[in-house]
């Protein structure tokens, strides 16, 4: 996309997604810009597009930057990258600094900014690239003008104090009217307050500092972004995969799906499965699990490993400790 004297912008966002279509196609066209769609772009060939167009602005998921760090040679020139922005997934502070160090070592003066978007808001809701204040590392930015935000405690329904984590909710003229032909989802996500204002209750948890900068802490629905063999991105919803596996046998009292780092696909799903039967029964059940997953899940969501486990790790509150399980699988 040509942004006039400001240079080129590369949106590494799939335009077949509703949010991607808005960001990659509709918004720039509305601004009178020229859009070039590249359905053949993958993580494996993204470097050639960078060298060809030398974009000053880049908007991509964290996995894109991590892949870029693996693919680019030490002596490559990335000095043209001035404003790298990411979104779509959580970017922790350590990964943010690694990306920034990589960009600096390749001539770029840009620093990664962690954006936050939401399809129901028809675009970005928080602005990390403030023209008034210096960006704060690890933050997703401040609410865009005209948008009201609040962080809610799920149990009490009240706003949480500054510095504490709550569900990210927003209200504004950019909020969609409803989910198409899905009143259940609409009633679950959109609520009207006493003043008649409509609020969208997102699946994102954040905390806010005293100056209004917001930081992403996690999501209600656990998911991660992976890639198929051609390099096209897909979201894997871990809880949904767990539901499919749990339904295979009554001998499965629990299942936990986590992501494992992968050099080609960025991340792949791994399933921890509790099983109380004998080994022979497990062998049969495992074949059933694999068959069901292959038939009901997209190929990118099918676990690459099924790990039998006697007991799932739990937090002090008695919930599955996904962090411990994910750390364990990534040590192997």
CATH of the domain at 193: 2.30.38.10
In a domain, 85, yes or no: yes
d(CA 141, CA 163): 15
Q: Which residue segment(s) compose the domain that 194 sits in?
A: 130-219
Domain limit, last residue, from 219, 234, 268: 219
109: in domain: yes
Compute the average pLDDT of residues 208-214: 91
Higher pLDDT, 286 or 204: 286
**What gap in Å lies between CA 28 and CA 229, rounded to an integer?**
30
How would you classify the pairing of strands 233-237 and 123-127? unpaired
Q: How far apart are CA 74 and CA 106, in angstroms?
A: 7
Rounded to an integer, the average pLDDT of 114-126 is 66
Q: Which whole number is the average pLDDT over 171-179?
A: 86
b/e map 185-219, b = 16+ CB within 10 Å: eeeebbeeeeeeeebbbbebbbbbeeeebbbbeee
- pLDDT per position as a tens digit, 49-70: 888 888 888 888 777 787 788 7
Predicted local distance difference test score (pLDDT) of residue 256: 93
d(CA 101, CA 107): 10
122 inside domain? no
In a domain, 30, yes or no: yes
Q: CATH no. for residue 234?
A: 3.30.300.30
CA distance 330 to 260: 6
Two structure tokens written together for 256: 């936990």
User: Cβ contacts of residue 280 below 8 Å, gap of 6+?
Assistant: none
């Amino acid at each position: 996309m040509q942004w006039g004297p400001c240079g080129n912008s590369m949106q590494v966002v799939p335009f077949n997604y509703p949010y991607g279509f808005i960001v990659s196609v509709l918004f720039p066209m509305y601004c009178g810009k020229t859009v070039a769609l590249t359905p053949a772009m993958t993580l494996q060939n993204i470097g050639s597009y960078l060298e060809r167009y030398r974009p000053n602005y880049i908007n991509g998921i964290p996995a894109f930057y991590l892949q870029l760090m693996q693919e680019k040679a030490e002596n490559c020139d990335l000095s043209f990258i001035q404003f790298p922005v990411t979104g779509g997934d959580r970017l922790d502070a350590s990964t943010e600094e690694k990306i920034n160090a990589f960009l600096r070592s390749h001539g770029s003066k840009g620093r990664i900014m962690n954006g936050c978007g939401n399809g129901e808001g028809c675009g970005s809701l928080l602005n990390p690239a403030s023209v008034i204040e210096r960006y704060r590392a690890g933050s997703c930015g401040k609410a865009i003008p005209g948008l009201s935000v609040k962080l809610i405690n799920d149990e009490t329904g009240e706003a949480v104090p500054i510095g504490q984590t709550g569900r990210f909710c927003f209200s504004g003229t950019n909020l969609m009217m409803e989910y198409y032909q899905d009143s259940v989802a609409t009633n679950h996500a959109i609520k009207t307050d006493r003043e008649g204002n409509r609020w969208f209750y997102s699946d994102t948890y954040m905390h806010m500092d005293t100056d209004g900068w917001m930081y992403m802490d996690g999501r209600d629905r656990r998911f991660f972004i992976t890639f198929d063999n051609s390099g096209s991105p897909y979201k894997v919803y871990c809880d949904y995969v767990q539901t499919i596996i749990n339904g295979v046998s009554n001998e499965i009292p629990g299942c936990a799906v986590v992501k494992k780092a992968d050099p080609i696909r960025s991340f792949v799903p791994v399933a921890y499965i509790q099983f109380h039967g004998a080994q022979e029964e497990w062998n049969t059940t495992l074949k059933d699990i694999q068959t069901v997953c292959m038939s009901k899940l997209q190929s990118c969501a099918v676990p690459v490993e099924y790990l039998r486990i006697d007991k799932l790790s739990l937090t002090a509150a008695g919930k599955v400790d996904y962090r411990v399980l994910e750390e364990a699988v990534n040590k192997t």
